Amino acid sequence: MKRSFLLLMVSSVVTIASAQQTQKPVLHGKNWMAITGKPLAATAGSMVFQNGGNAVDAACAMLAATCTMWDVLSWGGETQALIYNPTTKKVIAINAMGVAPTGATPEFFKSKGYNFPPEYGPLAATTPSTPGGICLMLAEYGTMSLKEVLAPAMQLAAGYPIEAQTANSMERGKARIKEWPYSKKVFLPHTGEKREAPEAGEIFIQKDLLATLTKMVEAEQEALKKKKSRKEAIMAAYDRFYKGDIAKEFVRGCQEQGGLITMEDLAKWKPVIEEPLHTNYKGIDVYKLQQWTQGPVLLQSLNILENFDLKSMGYNSSKYIHTLYQAMNLTFADRDFYYGDPAFAPEEPMKGLLSKDYAKQRASLVSFDKNNPDIGPGDPYPFEGKTNPFLNLLKQRGYELDTTGRNFAPAHDIRGVASIDNDYMDRLRRGTTSVEAADKEGWVVSITPSGGWLPACIAGNTGVGMSQRMQSFVLEESMNPFNVVAPGKRPRVTLTPSLALKDGKPFLSFAVQGGDTQDQNLLQFFLNVVEFGMNVQQAAEAANINSNQLWLSLGGTKMDNRKPRPGSILIQDKTPEAVRNELKKMGYTLSFDDRTSGPINAIYFDWKHGSFWGGSSNHGEDYGIGW
């Protein structure tokens, strides 16, 4: 009888029933859970757990393995993490984001004809930060030695059977790879043959990277022989990477190929332990990294959506989809103008942006009859008792702010940008990986690392691919006064892990890859669980929407490459015709895909039964192991 009732509902919405039949099973475990972007990397996490490590140890091992396997990232990239500490019962934020190097100024990039810093090559590189992030997390919150945690990654570097996805990416990118001699040496072992990259299943060997990791472990072990503490020994490995012979070869190789990074840049950079930002949605505390990421977008969106009865609208009804799209328009407009590195002036108005009263004002802009293509940044300053110092910049952009619900977007933001091409979609959804780990002692780790993806420029004989995150800076203050490139500054990145607590205990740990779609998919994943009762695997596979009404954070060096596409929306190809027609009437331009949820990985904490539920994306190679 219940099944018949559900079938009656499918004419107007993509029902929850369609999400019940998942392509991958939900994972269960009572001792630990390890989930990441590749099966061998998840196995690395399980090996560390089986050897007695905690969730931080396992997460570091998985991160090291994914970097070694080029899971759309490398050792020279960046690491963003949230950690729940069961001893203090607090959520900790790890800021291991690299910074712009010496000489990286707007004038420098403009002199080369760029509207944004480049997306590939040595000039795209921020300082490498994943090695420092691993060392910091392991030293402060792990239990094992660096030697133990890096053992799986070092075995992989010595040679592992490469999978088709990565091998084919090397082959596709070989024209660019050949521009960089150290990359060519690693990625194209069959130079001159018809296929120059490795074949799927071929043993892929990285001698230079193995030597780099060996040097770090040697520094740790030498420190231990000198009776240094575990933490001091791990940081000796850190120092060898950032100040010693590894650093010298990295800088030499970077500069030889035209990069800007100096020894001083590496020595001055430090990973940071921060307080995360958070909001409360219907009794659930949701935590994100600070405004140097796009993470607060999810918090702002929840604050806005709290003003609507989403459940009564029905999962993926036209009204629900429209409401989500409008809320995201509002929050991404704020992201695009107000987010940046809090270590640099000016100070971002985060108190105002995360105010519930500000969210109510923004929610009042939502009209239920059509999409609003003219949404621009709001004015959060009055909600923290201040006057907006950037009204003149907003006027330069063509925005008029008032309290009556009108935000007019400038012509250069919205004209002639309705079409969607393959390059645009690649930039919107550009991926990396995610790492999720939890243990029975209560440690929880959520990481969205990235940087140094293929085709990557390797720095000298280190085997380390350089980051490409410089492209997320802007060169014009009118675009975003908080995110203008400057030496020593962190770019505002898309990378955004998530943790949620309920009744003071872990509730959900979740992350996803996918550029500007990350917090779009994470928002819907969270609502799928909280509002529509899905389990983590159902929610990870469920049909989501993606908005293109935002400025892209990645790809292209010209304004036209990054412009918003107002009204453009990606929906799942099984969306009923009635819903499609209603969205078209509201002014939306539709595109379709069979999988629209993004590669989400997540852990749900079942306190009733004392167990973990793991969800692992059905998009590609994401994989989880529980015990």
Give the whole-angstrom CA distance, residue 473 versus residue 470.
6
**Residue 422: predicted pLDDT:** 64
Q: In this predicted model, what pLDDT tens digit does every residue of 134-149 receive, in sequence order?
A: 999 999 999 999 999 9
Do 534 and 16 contact (CB within 8 A), yes or no?
A: yes
The strand pair at 32-36 and 623-626 is best described as antiparallel
Distance set, CA 166 to CA 172, 178, 202, 338, 433 (Å): 10, 17, 12, 36, 13
**Residue 12: predicted pLDDT:** 41
Q: pTM for the complete prediction?
A: 0.94
Q: In this predicted model, what pLDDT tens digit does every residue of 479-535 receive, in sequence order?
A: 999 999 999 999 999 999 999 999 999 999 999 999 999 999 999 999 999 999 999
Q: Residue 222 is encoded by which pair of tokens?
A: 């030498």
Mean pLDDT score of the chain, rounded to an integer?
93
Q: In this predicted model, what pLDDT tens digit does every residue of 251-267 receive, in sequence order?
A: 999 999 999 999 999 99
Q: Which stretches within 279-355 are classed as H helix?
A: 296-305, 310-313, 318-338, 350-353
Give backbone dihedrals phi and psi of 424, rounded to 5 degrees, phi first: -60, -50
pLDDT, average across residues 21-47: 97
**Residue 620: predicted pLDDT:** 87
Q: In this predicted model, what pLDDT tens digit does every residue of 217-231 receive, in sequence order?
A: 999 999 999 999 999
| Cβ count near 426 (within 10 Å) | 13
Q: Residue 610 is encoded by which pair of tokens?
A: 């004392």
| Cβ count near 572 (within 10 Å) | 18
Helix 318-338 × helix 577-585 angle, to 10°: 50
Owner of token pair 């001083």: 264
Q: Residue 344 is encoded by which pair of tokens?
A: 């640099």
Q: In this predicted model, what pLDDT tens digit does every residue of 543-591 receive, in sequence order?
A: 999 999 999 999 888 899 899 999 999 999 999 999 999 999 999 999 9
The DSSP output letter for 453 is P
Q: In this predicted model, what pLDDT tens digit does every residue of 254-302 receive, in sequence order?
A: 999 999 999 999 999 999 999 999 999 999 999 999 999 999 999 999 9
Q: What share of the chain is helix, strand, coil (3-state, %, to 5)?
A: 40, 15, 45
**Residue 149: predicted pLDDT:** 98
Q: In this predicted model, what pLDDT tens digit does every residue of 374-433 receive, in sequence order?
A: 999 999 999 999 999 999 999 888 876 654 444 434 433 443 344 456 666 555 556 689
pLDDT, average across residues 112-141: 97
Do 157 and 70 contact (CB within 8 A), yes or no?
A: no
From its phi and psi, is residue 325 left (phi > 0), alpha (psi between -120 and 50) or beta? alpha
The strand pair at 589-593 and 568-572 is best described as parallel
Q: How far is CA 470 from the centre of its chain?
A: 15
Owner of token pair 């002014």: 587
pLDDT, average across residues 122-134: 98
Provide the percentage of residues in the chain whose pLDDT is more than 70: 92
**Residue 397: predicted pLDDT:** 82
Which of 60-74, 414-428, 429-443 has the largest mean confidence?
60-74
